[in-house]
Amino acid sequence: MIEVAGGVFAPGQLGELTQTVDFELVDAVLEETGTVERRLRLLPSRVVVYFVLALALFENCSYRAVWGKMTASLTSLALAVPAASSLSRARRRIGAAPLRRLFEILAGPLAVRGQSGTFWRGLRCVAVDGTLLHTPDEKTVTWKYPKRTGDTLEFGYPLLRLVVLIECGTRALLAAAFGPESDGELTYANRLLSALDDTMLLLADAGFDAVEFIRDIHGSGARFLIRSSARRIPTPAEHLADGSYLARIGYGVIPALITVRVIEAHLTVRLDDGTVRHEQWRLLTSLLDPVRYPADELADLYHRRWQVETTYFSIKATILEGRVLRSRTQPGLDQEVYALLTTYQALLRAAADSIETRPDLTMSRISFTLLIRTAGDTVISATGILPPPGPVDLVGVIGQAVLEAPLPSQHRQRVKARTRKNPTSKYGPNAGQQPVTSQNYSIQTLITFFEHGLNSRSQR
C-alpha cells in the first residue's frame, strides 16, 4: 500500500528520505522563508521543494523525467503532468531560500560521542577544504561566475567555488559556503567558523594557515591541526621531548601573538610499483602538550583531512556524475547547490540511523553509490514516505540495502590515480608526476627538525 499526501500534494515526496526531510519540516521552512503559495496551485511550493531535491537525486534526468520518477507509482491518482516550462517557473517562484534553510537545519555532526574514526583523544575531528564546480556558459551566469582568462582569451566553463566543513569519520556536512572562484577558499572558510565549538579539532591544508584564520579558529574555542606553507619560517621558542617545538606566530599581522606547537616530519611513501616519494610536512597545532597529544599520532591524524576529498567525490562524481550544474541563472545555481548539499546530508543521515543498529560497523563501510541508488529506487516506488506505525525502526529499505553489502572492514592504504582530464586544470604543470593507476602504498613518518627550513612544494 502506497501512502502519500493528498490531492495536488501527492507528487511531493522523496521516497524514504521523506522521513528525514518530512512534510512538517518543509512546510515550516516555506512558512519561515515566506515562500508558501498565495493560492493553491497544481504545483504547490511543498511539491516544488521535493522536485528540486529529486533533481539532485537524479542529476542525469530531465525535468519531465524526474517528475515521472516521482509519480511513477501514483498512476491511480490521475495526476497532472506539468510541462518543463511550468516546472522551471515553479523553481524560480520558490527561489533558493527554502533550500538553504533546509540545509542549515539538516547540517551537523552525526557521530555519537567516542565513535571510531571521528573522535581522537576526546576531540571531534572535523576538516575544511574547497573544490570547484562547473556552471553553464551563459551570460546570465558569467556575470557572477566568470570563466578563467589568459592573455588573449577566456577558456573553460565558469567556475563556482564550494568550501565545506565536514565531520571526519561520517563525512557529514557541518556547514558550507560558495560563490565565485575569484574569492579564495579562506574567504568562504571564514563563514564556516560559527559551526566550530570547543569539542572540535579542525584539520586543514596549507592554504588555510593564514594567521588571521588561525586566530579566529582559536577564538571559536576549537583546536586546530593545520599544514604550514613553506613561506612560514617559525622560530623555535622551546624544543619538546617528542621532537616538536613551540613557536609564536603573527608578528606584524595581529596584535597578540599566538603560541603554536610545530611538528615537522619527513615522510617516505613507497608505492607498489616501486616508486618512492619523499615529502616534508610542517604542521601547526594548538595542542601544546606533547605527552597528551604525541607528535607521531598528530602526524598520522592529519591524513583524516583527506575525507573532505571523499565528500567532494561523492557529490561531484557520484551525484553529479561529472556534469555541469544544470541551472542557467545565479538564483537557480544557489538553489541547486543547496539542494545537492541537502540531499547529500539526508543520505548520510539515513546511513547513520542504520549504523546505530550495528555497533560493529562504521560509516566508512557504507557504499555511497548503493546509498543514492537505493534512495532513488524508493522515490520511483513511492515507498517509506511516512514512518510505519508502532516503534521507530531506524533501518528502512535504504538502511537494509547498505547494511547487507558493507564495504571491506580493512581499508588498504591506496594512492588515487591523478590523471589530468581537464585541459584547463591549474594542475597542468604536474601532469605525469602522479601515478596513472590507483596503487597500494606504505608510509614511514619520521618526526624531525628542518634546520634549513621547509622545501617549497608544487601544487598537486
Residue with cell 621531548: 241
Q: On the CB side of 262, how many CA atoms lie within 13 Å of its CA?
A: 28
Identify whether the C-beta of residue 110 lies closer than 8 Å to the C-beta of residue 363: yes
Burial (Cβ within 10 Å: 0-12, 13-18, ≥19) of residue 423: exposed
Ordered alpha helix ranges (H), 194-320: 211-220, 295-301, 307-313
- Please, what is the Cα angle at 284 between 242 and 162, to 5 degrees? 145
User: CA 102, 105, 108, 111 torsion: positive or negative?
Assistant: negative
How far are the Cα atoms of 44, 62, 75, 385 from residue 4, in angstroms, in the given order?
Answer: 15, 23, 12, 7
Tell me, what's the pLDDT at 2?
77
Residue with cell 619523499: 278
What nine digits make up the cell of 443?
608510509
The string of pLDDT tens digits covering residues 333-385 is: 999 999 999 999 999 999 999 888 888 888 889 999 999 999 999 999 999 99
Question: What b/e string do you get for 372-408 counting C-beta neighbours within 10 Å, with b at 16 or more?
Answer: bebbbbbbeebbbbbeeeeeeeebbbbbebbbeebee
Q: Which residue has the higher pLDDT, 217 or 436?
A: 217
Lowest mean pLDDT among 216-225, 286-295, 438-447: 438-447
How far are the Cα atoms of 12, 158, 308, 344, 351 from residue 370, in angstroms, in the given order?
Answer: 23, 31, 20, 13, 11
Q: Percentage of the chain surpassing pLDDT 90?
A: 68
Q: How many CB atoms within 10 Å of residue 5?
A: 18
458: helix, coil or strand? coil
User: CA 71, 75, 78, 80 torsion: positive or negative?
Assistant: positive
User: Residue 194 contacts by C-beta under 8 Å, 6 or more apart in sequence?
Assistant: 175, 220
Residue with cell 584547463: 424
What stretch of H or E contains 387? none
Closest Cα to residue 372, out of 138, 57, 139? 57
Q: How far apart are CA 138 and CA 329, in angstroms?
A: 8
The string of pLDDT tens digits covering residues 160-181 is: 999 999 999 999 999 999 999 9
Q: Is 417 left (phi over 0), alpha (psi -120 to 50) or beta?
A: beta
Tell me, what's the pLDDT at 391?
63
**pLDDT category of residue 455 using cuts at 50, 70 and 90:** confident
pLDDT at 322 over 70: yes
Q: What is the mean pLDDT of residues 130-148?
A: 92
Q: How far apart are CA 190 and CA 177, in angstroms?
A: 9
pLDDT at 452 over 80: no
